[in-house]
Amino acid sequence: MINLILYLKHMVFEQYRASLKRWQIKWNTPFDLHKHWREMANFKGLSKQACQRLEWIIYYQTRAEKNVALTCRHFGIRSRKTFYKWLHRFDEVNLRTLEERDRAPVHKRQSEITPSEEQRIIKIRREHLRWGKEKLVIVFQKTFATKISAWKIQKTIEKYNLYYHPVKTERLRKKRARAQKKKKITELKAMPLLGFTLHLDTIVIYWNGLKRYVLTAIDHFTKVAFARMYTSPSSYSAADFLYRLNYLLDNKIVNIHTDNGSEFAKNFSQAIEDLNLQHYFSRNKTPKDNAVNERFNRTLQEEFIQMGNFTPNTNIFNKNLSEWLIEYNFARPHLSLDKLPPIEYAQKYHQLFPMYPSHTLS
């Protein structure tokens, strides 16, 4: 059977080659095979990745003179094995062979729980709501003199919501689902637009047994910064900070980036939804994901807090902090901003990089 398939593929390939040769003889024109491949890839609507793999093979056959190492270096392919995989899979008659194949299993596991097993599981589960599935396996075998897997018991419990605290369990399940859907900052492609990405963080200050929390924010492109001190690290404080920040930037914020701290949840998440913003998170234990804000935190501590400006009184502290922020944003030169203050830099490039278009906020 395999030999027959290979034979048929060989015949199709030979017919394809013969048709190209006849075309060349008829029109007395050299046939550009690689140009033909590119046109066919465009006509068939191949993905960007498949077109890139096609360029690998064209470069390998032309400029690299079938040198795999040279091809891999040119395109930054980490492993020759990767190139060989696509080279062997490549079929010039069917360019779709360069597309990724579906990795889902052909035969998926089907539920094997019979109605009688389901009723028996429900019965013993209601009698022992606090017991785990492994214990219920033993009870099931002793009661009904038949074996059953812990997987069947777990699936039946989930199906009929047979928990001691069903509301609490459902809340926990939703919390885990939300955690899995968090968008990481590495997924966001930075754009040189004022308000496109705002990085937020929290500075904790210890003073004579007291704690104070300074929430900070900085624009990724212009380095326009804002900060405010609170007595509590609650999500309510973070939401208040976000509303103030949005007001100062005239509703021009598009994306917010924070770490995974509890202050950036609940009320803060609600504020994100109210303002129609996108929320991106740092990876766990990866402070370099928020390097821009970390540097601003250091500047704030060195040039303001450590210069004798700290007081536990939030009203006095925030008043003095506002004056320092005005100097930081309007007067302090930044070497990374052509030696201009953030506001002046933003104004200089306002025509070149206008505020983010409203139609992209959807």
Domain ranges of the chain: 30-98, 115-180, 189-356
In this predicted structure, the answer to whether residue 263 has a pLDDT above a threshold of 80 is yes
293 CA to centre of own chain: 19
Q: What whole-number distance in Å separates Cα of residue 333 and Cα of residue 340?
A: 5
Q: What whole-number distance in Å separates Cα of residue 24 and Cα of residue 30?
A: 6
Q: What is the pTM of this model?
A: 0.53
Give CA angle at 31 (27, 33), nearest 5°. 155
215 CA to centre of own chain: 24
In this predicted structure, the answer to whether residue 272 has a pLDDT above a threshold of 50 is yes
Instruction: Provide the pLDDT for residue 3.
Output: 54
90 CA to centre of own chain: 31
The band of 107, judged by pLDDT with boundaries at 50, 70 and 90, is: confident
Instruction: Provide the pLDDT for residue 341.
Output: 93
149-171 per-position pLDDT tens digit = 999 999 999 899 899 888 888 88
Indicate the average pLDDT of the chain.
85
* Rg of the chain over all Cα atoms, to the nearest angstrom: 31
Question: Burial level of 212, CB count in 10 A (0-12/13-18/19+)?
Answer: buried
8 A C-beta contact, residue 71 and residue 53: no
8 A C-beta contact, residue 124 and residue 140: yes
Pairing mode, strands 197-207 and 255-258: parallel
In this predicted structure, the answer to whether residue 5 has a pLDDT above a threshold of 80 is no
Q: Pick the range with the lowest mean pLDDT from 43-57, 112-126, 173-187, 223-237.
A: 173-187
- What percent of the chain is modeled with pLDDT above 70? 86
Q: What whole-number distance in Å separates Cα of residue 147 and Cα of residue 246?
A: 61
40-79 per-position pLDDT tens digit = 888 888 899 999 999 999 999 999 999 999 999 898 888 8
In this predicted structure, the answer to whether residue 11 has a pLDDT above a threshold of 90 is no
8 A C-beta contact, residue 274 and residue 266: no
Q: What whole-number distance in Å separates Cα of residue 320 and Cα of residue 11?
A: 83
289-336 per-position pLDDT tens digit = 999 999 999 999 999 999 999 999 999 999 999 999 999 999 999 998
8 A C-beta contact, residue 188 and residue 285: no
Q: What phi and psi values does residue 73 have, to the nearest 5 degrees?
A: -65, -40
Instruction: Provide the pLDDT for residue 361.
Output: 31
Instruction: Show the tokens assigned to 249.
Output: 């930037």
Using the structure block, give the residue that is written with the tokens 């009184």: 313
The band of 190, judged by pLDDT with boundaries at 50, 70 and 90, is: confident
Amino acid in position 221: F
In this predicted structure, the answer to whether residue 359 has a pLDDT above a threshold of 50 is no
- Domain 189-356, what fold? Nucleotidyltransferase; domain 5 (3.30.420)
Give CA angle at 21 (18, 24), nearest 5°. 155
- CA 48 → CA 11, 77, 268, 278, 347, distances in Å? 30, 16, 38, 26, 37
- What percent of the chain is modeled with pLDDT above 90? 54
In this predicted structure, the answer to whether residue 356 has a pLDDT above a threshold of 60 is no
